[in-house]
A and B are shown apart, each in its own frame.
Chain A
Amino acid sequence: MLTLTCPYCGTHADETELAPGGEAHLKRFGPGSSDEDFEDYLFRRANPKGVHFERWRHAYGCGKWFLAARCTTTLEVYGTYPAQTTEPPEHILETIAAKRPGWSWEADT
């Protein structure tokens, strides 16, 4: 069972209290972008074996969207943080780096 701490209300929310929102930190390509960029934005998603960044909504709780960093193989959660950011905050990256030597945010995107 996955338990994520909602950064808005502090609740240790069980997976059944949350709604998944897919990959986090996508860059939007809208009107005026190339067909290739628009297609990638709509359909192409990272599917890493390891560190992954995701959007979640505390659907049965405070209702807010937040972001989470976790490992897709061990389900270890590195941390959760508010959604108002375009890249993972420093303390999350430091936590991951300490647990996953050699991993880096740039290399995975």
Chain B
Amino acid sequence: MAEAMQKTSPMAVVTALGPRGMITLRGDLAASKLKAVCKALTGADIPAAGHATVVKETGLAWMSPDELLIMLPHAEVPAAIAKIDAALKGSHYLAVDVSDARAVFRVCGSGAREVMGKLCPVDLHPDQFAPGQFRRTRMGQIAAAFWMRDAATFEVVCFRSVADYAFDLLTVSAKAGPVGYY
């Protein structure tokens, strides 16, 4: 997966993106120090359950009641973790660089909802899932999470160990054509 991989179909363009900075942060999401350091790093407020505030490469995603995914440019990760460690020192938290454990994909096009909808047990009708929301789920046989960059673009993360499977899965779903469900 070294070079940029991309497959185009009438439904959507599937792209394997380069490395993105990702930090798993566990702790008390209501704590003011945690909120402040997240805001300082990403400019974003703590998202509500099932939501993400991601602009381009930077933002926060709600992973569970005590876990956030912090996304930022890859080169900024070490400095960001140092800032978190300094800000949360003495409180119960965990901040880990998981950038290299993850693969990121983009699914862009008029059929992007169907490409995802065929693979995940999630209602992706526009009334039910829109930019701003975030969903961890099963994609085919693997765990994945996704959000919408805009009305026609999904970004998908999964474990890097299953990146080839994920890319092929998205590509086949896009190639298979529309169902016309949404």
Hey, which bits of chain A sit against chain B, CB under 8 A?
A: 8-14, 16-17, 59-64
Contact = CB atoms under 8 A, between A and B. Distances in A.
Describe B's contact surface by its main secondary structure. Answer: strand
Contact of A64 (B50, B64, B123): B64
Interface of B: 49-50, 62-65, 67, 121, 123, 135-138, 143
B121 A62 contact: no
Given A17-B137, A17-B138, A60-B136, A11 B50 contact: yes
User: Across chains A and B, which 5 residue pairs bring their CB atoms closest together, nearest first?
Assistant: A14-B121, A62-B64, A60-B138, A61-B136, A60-B143
Given A9-B49, A16-B121, A17-B121, A60 B65 contact: no
Describe A's contact surface by its main secondary structure. Answer: loop
A10 B65 contact: no
Contacts, number: 36
Nearest to B139: A60
Contact of B136 (A10, A16, A62): A62
A8 B43 CA distance: 26
B49 A10 contact: yes
A63 B137 CA distance: 10
Contacts of B50: 9-11
A59 B143 CA distance: 9
A62 B49 CA distance: 10
Contacts of A11: 50, 135, 137
Nearest to B62: A9
Residue of A59, A62, A64 with most partner-chain B CB within 10 A:
A62
B144 to A, nearest CB: 8
22 contacts: A8-B64, A8-B65, A9-B62, A9-B64, A10-B50, A11-B50, A11-B135, A11-B137, A13-B121, A14-B121, A16-B121, A16-B138, A17-B121, A17-B138, A59-B143, A60-B136, A60-B138, A61-B136, A62-B63, A62-B65, A63-B64, A64-B64
